[in-house]
């Protein structure tokens, strides 16, 4: 999916495996809200589990995971993962090996094995990624046999099988702990993010937002234009022409897929590009604003502060401070 390549090139995501869990029932993991630049994930490699987001609306508070499922939380919300028994969990013991925590509770009954980690986001405005993904995203790497005459389902099954192979390699490295395993698993975790998004985008029930665009190839020329030429004074008629649609048809399809207007998405892309330039270059603020489509420095400053919450200069200072903290 060309859009996924563009998004991950703009916002490269790294991976960290934090905890390898081997639990017998009853067990429970309480995960706090994620840090500003993190998306937490869990891979269930054996057994079953229940995932809950405290305070979620009715009908959205709990989901069942089976072996081969991956769940991630783009919103960063606090959550609980447990065996579903309702019993008081056994106390877990932890040991630390080469930066990886191994947690067990000395029980094998109704066991579950999990890999728990974080996707580490770059220091750029996060709305383009977070606001286009659901509060939680569950993807299965296990597929049933797909009939050959259903090419869309066959493609999704193939993508999921590739995801399953990646998870199995992560599991082997994490459990065998051969030399260099920690670095290898973290590198694989970064690939896990991209493959999980690909599988979600290619599923029949892809959520609204950027993931849904895989099902709307006619809209992708407009998105590509926004990414490739952000300085252009794009209008609705010009973007619609890229997609060979009338203005009304283009707007309808766009808002059905993404849940927002083309102008809003264009602003999100421009502000993400601007945030990256502010973090990674010494270019003057006005020059960066012009590079993403604002001839007026005042207009760029105003839109950036409304979108990000701070001025471009404040963002640049914050980004450089975060970069120093990462190297420390």
CATH architecture for the domain at 2-205? Sandwich (2.60)
Q: Highest mean pLDDT: which of 68-72, 104-108, 131-135, 300-304?
A: 300-304
For the beta carbon of residue 290, count every other beta carbon within 10 angstroms.
16
Q: Domain segments of the chain: what residues?
A: 2-205, 216-327
- Which token pair is 222? 């407009």
Instruction: Specify the 3-state DSSP secondary structure of 152.
Output: helix
* Helix, strand and coil in the chain, % to nearest 5: 45, 20, 35
The pLDDT assigned to 281 comes to 92
Q: Highest mean pLDDT: which of 101-110, 194-203, 220-229?
A: 220-229
List the one residue out of 118, 159, 138 whose CA is nearest residue 69.
138
Sheet holding 48-52, edge to edge: 28-31, 79-82, 48-52, 62-66
Q: CA angle at residue 75 from 314 to 65, to 5 degrees? A: 155
Q: Which residues lie closer than 8 Å to 328 by C-beta, 6 or more apart? A: none
pLDDT band at 155 (very low <50, low <70, confident <90, very high): low
- Give the E-state strand segments of 36-144 in sequence order: 38-46, 48-52, 62-66, 69-72, 79-82, 93-97, 100-104, 112-120, 137-140
The pLDDT assigned to 216 comes to 83
- Which token pair is 129? 């990624």
Residue 125 has pLDDT above 90, yes or no: no
pLDDT tens digits, residue range 184-194? Answer: 888 898 889 98
Residue 169 has pLDDT above 80, yes or no: yes
Exposed, middle or buried: residue 108 (CB in 10 Å: 0-12, 13-18, 19+)? exposed
| 80 close to 116: Cβ distance less than 8 angstroms | no
- Arithmetic mean of pLDDT over the chain: 85
pTM of the model: 0.83
Between 92 and 143, the higher pLDDT residue: 92
Tell me which CATH code domain 216-327 carries.
1.10.10.60
pLDDT tens digits, residue range 28-86? Answer: 999 999 988 899 999 998 899 999 988 765 445 688 998 889 999 988 899 999 999 98
The pLDDT assigned to 316 comes to 93
The β-bridge partners of 42 are 71, 116
| 173 close to 191: Cβ distance less than 8 angstroms | no
The pLDDT assigned to 93 comes to 93
- Which token pair is 192? 């896990």
CA 203 – CA 285 distance, rounded (Å): 41
CA 14 – CA 220 distance, rounded (Å): 26
Maximum pairwise Cα distance, the chain: 66
Between 225 and 152, the higher pLDDT residue: 225
């Amino acid at each position: 999916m060309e859009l996924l390549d563009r998004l991950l090139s703009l916002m490269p995501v790294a991976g960290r495996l934090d905890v390898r869990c081997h639990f017998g029932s009853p067990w429970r993991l309480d995960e706090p809200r994620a840090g500003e630049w993190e998306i937490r994930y869990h891979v269930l490699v054996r057994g079953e589990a229940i995932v809950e987001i405290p305070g979620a609306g009715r009908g959205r508070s709990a989901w069942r995971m089976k072996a081969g499922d991956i769940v991630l939380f783009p919103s960063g919300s606090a959550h609980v993962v447990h065996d579903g028994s309702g019993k008081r969990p056994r106390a877990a013991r932890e040991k630390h090996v080469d930066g990886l925590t191994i947690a067990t509770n000395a029980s094998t009954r109704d066991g579950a094995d999990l890999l728990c980690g974080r996707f580490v986001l770059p220091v750029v405005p996060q709305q383009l990624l977070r606001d286009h993904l659901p509060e939680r995203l569950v993807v299965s790497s296990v597929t049933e046999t797909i009939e050959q005459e259903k090419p869309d389902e066959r493609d999704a099954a193939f993508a999921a099988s590739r995801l399953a192979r990646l998870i199995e390699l992560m599991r082997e490295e994490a459990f065998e702990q051969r030399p260099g395993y920690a670095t290898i698993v973290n590198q694989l975790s970064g690939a896990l993010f991209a493959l999980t998004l690909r599988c979600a985008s290619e599923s029949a029930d892809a959520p609204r937002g950027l993931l849904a665009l895989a099902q709307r190839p006619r809209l992708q020329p407009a998105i590509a234009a926004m990414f490739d030429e952000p300085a252009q004074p794009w209008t609705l008629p010009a973007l619609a022409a890229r997609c060979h649609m009338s203005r009304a048809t283009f707007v309808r399809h766009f808002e059905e897929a993404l849940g927002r207007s083309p102008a809003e998405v264009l602003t999100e892309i421009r502000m993400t590009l601007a945030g990256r330039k502010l973090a990674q270059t010494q270019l003057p603020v006005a020059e960066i604003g012009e590079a993403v489509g604002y001839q007026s420095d005042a207009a760029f400053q105003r839109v950036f502060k409304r979108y990000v919450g701070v001025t471009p200069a404040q963002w640049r200072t914050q980004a450089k401070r975060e970069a120093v903290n990462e190297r420390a």
